[in-house]
A and B are shown apart, each in its own frame.
Chain A
Amino acid sequence: MKLITAVVKPHRLDEIKEALQAFGVHGLTVTEASGYGRQRGHTEVYRGAEYTVDLVPKIRIEVLVEDDDAEQLIEVIVKAARTGKIGDGKVWSVPVETAVRVRTGERGPDAL
């Protein structure tokens, strides 16, 4: 199994969810995150005082998949997340040793 993590622009979440559903993914976890990459942050002005805001809001999506689906799923997410502008985010995958469905105790791919 693989854990695919995507940190993307918040407004792409709906597109990504729909694309994952169309692909047949049954579940995912979404958290609000903040961070920066190459685009860095932005500047805000309050009564003339400029603040550099380094950390910009992002959405972190996590999906567990079987090994065979991983590459294809990464492509699906990248396609749905892309706007072509700087700050679109990143997607990566890491191997997962085990997974358990809490309710039934099923293990491995059966738990997905």
Chain B
Amino acid sequence: MNVGDTAFVLISAALVMLMTPGLALFYGGMVRTKSTLNMLMMSFVSLGVVSVLWVLYGYSLAFSGDVGGFVGNLDLLGLDGITGDSAMENFAGRDIPVFAFVLFQMLFAILTPALMSGALADRVKFGSWVVFIALWVTLVYFPVAHWVWGGGWLAELDPAIIDFAGGTAVHINAGIGALAAVLVVGKRIGFKKDPMRPHNLPLVLLGTALLWFGWFGFNAGSELAADGTAASMALNTQVATGAAVLGWLIYERIRHGAFTTLGACSGAIAGLVAITPAGGNVNVLGALLIGVVAGAVCSWAVSLKYKLGYDDSLDVVGVHFVGGVIGTLMVGFLAIDGVGGWDQFVSQAIGALSVMGYTFVVTFVLAFLIQKTIGFRASEDDEVAGLDQAAHAETAYDFSGAGGGSARTATATAPVAPAESKKVDA
């Protein structure tokens, strides 16, 4: 086996792992104080749920064999028969251990449902969310990953769809799934009336930075080899993201009068999303164009929810869905080496539309059934008071401040020896 490629894929997998907690912070900073931990946990719990499902049956459904072009088979339940000596067979020229690929792809399967959580901020039952993501990856993500990467029907199109690192399987998928779930769950209490400001923008920027960093593994690692295409993908990732930051900032400066921190972070994510399907097949100027278009268009798209009246709380639709569509379609024309053109564009559009249709319907039905059985939406009392205490029995920030032993902090164990005198110069 190729040691260089193996090392690269394993390191890339670790980078992708960092994206899920990065996403948790990105979303967590954008919600109001009272439901911060709930927002963090909605992403973080996916690391638990999907890791387990992936090795039990997820990998098999996505990457083992093929049943009618739609889904894999169950031959590799529990990764049956795969050992450390097993080398990849179904990807030409990739001489790496199957385990490296299993891990790398597992982390994609973890991130994708977590992306949807931002749309449902502040208002769903945590237990129901866990059930939702377990069923969603089973019914939606595993099949769609098979369509795109596992030898399913999208890979059989002529010309084959270009989705280097998951514009359709990850971002359009999560974006449209989020929209369907939001339509079932409904708006936050006070949507469009109460101010719902991000409570911690530094946290958002930290999350953005971790996502950007991890995205190098996500995008370049998808080459599954430490080669020139991986290097090109990494460079394009950086260029598109930088351009998207500028695209978003310029649009909002003209439209709203300020260069906002949240705008810069949102632009970065829009650029990362848009370059994801495209970056392995465009040159650096193509990446630049995709980035700046994604930044500006997503900056406009996030305002649609107010006009159309759906509460996509943290703009999963406006950024991931719209950005994913932009990247997926633009690469149809911008692909280098004579690939780009109408034929390719049609394949890209088929890919995007089929994921949209399938995922929207299945997610809508799934969310609806959860709502009708165990209940998806949190109680009104819990939502108004904040889900942190109701669902997690914790508080994100201790604002009680100085005064150990005072009534306000009496529920916590009192410190053994409070300091005699603390010089606080306020």
Contact = CB atoms under 8 A, between A and B. Distances in A.
Contacts of A47: 260, 262-263, 266, 299, 302-303, 315
Given A30-B426, A49-B306, A44 B255 contact: no
Contact of A45 (B260, B266, B306, B426): B260
A48 B197 contact: no
A40 B251 CA distance: 28
B31 to A, nearest CB: 12
Given A30-B426, A53-B195, A48 B303 contact: yes
Contacts of B257: 45
Interface in B287-329: 299, 302-303, 306, 315
A44 B256 contact: no
Contacts of A51: 195, 197
B256 A48 contact: yes
A49 B198 CA distance: 11
Given A45-B260, A48-B303, A52-B195, 11 more contacts: A45-B252, A46-B197, A47-B260, A47-B262, A47-B263, A47-B303, A48-B252, A48-B255, A48-B256, A48-B302, A49-B303
A110 interface: no
Contact of A46 (B255, B262, B299): B262
B306 A46 contact: no
Nearest to A45: B256
A15 to B, nearest CB: 15
Contacts of B252: 45, 48
Contacts of A44: 197
Chain B, interface size category, equals 10 to 19
B82 interface: no
Interface of A: 30, 44-53
Contacts of B195: 51-53
A46 B263 CA distance: 8
Interface in B21-70: none
A50 B197 CA distance: 10
Contacts, number: 32
Interface of B: 195, 197-198, 252, 255-258, 260, 262-263, 266, 299, 302-303, 306, 315, 426
A45 B258 contact: yes
Contacts of A45: 252, 256-258, 260
Q: Closest 10 A-B residue pairs measured CB to CB? A: A51-B195, A48-B303, A45-B256, A47-B302, A46-B262, A45-B258, A48-B256, A51-B197, A47-B262, A45-B260
B205 to A, nearest CB: 14
Nearest to A47: B302
Contacts of B198: 46
Nearest to B194: A51
A30 B426 CA distance: 8
A47 B306 CA distance: 11
Q: Max chain B CB contacts within 10 Å: which of A46, A47, A48, A50?
A: A47
B254 to A, nearest CB: 11
7 contacts: A45-B256, A45-B260, A47-B299, A47-B302, A48-B255, A48-B299, A50-B256
A51 B299 CA distance: 17
Contacts of A53: 195
Contacts of A30: 426
A45 to B, nearest CB: 5
A64 to B, nearest CB: 18
Q: Which residue among A30, A44, A46, A51 has the maximum number of chain B CB atoms within 10 Å of its CB?
A: A46
A45 B266 CA distance: 13
A45 B256 CA distance: 7
A46 B426 contact: no
A48 B197 CA distance: 12
Nearest to B256: A45
Contacts of B256: 45, 48, 50
A44 B258 CA distance: 9
A9 to B, nearest CB: 16
A30 to B, nearest CB: 6
Contacts of A46: 197-198, 260, 262
Nearest to A54: B195
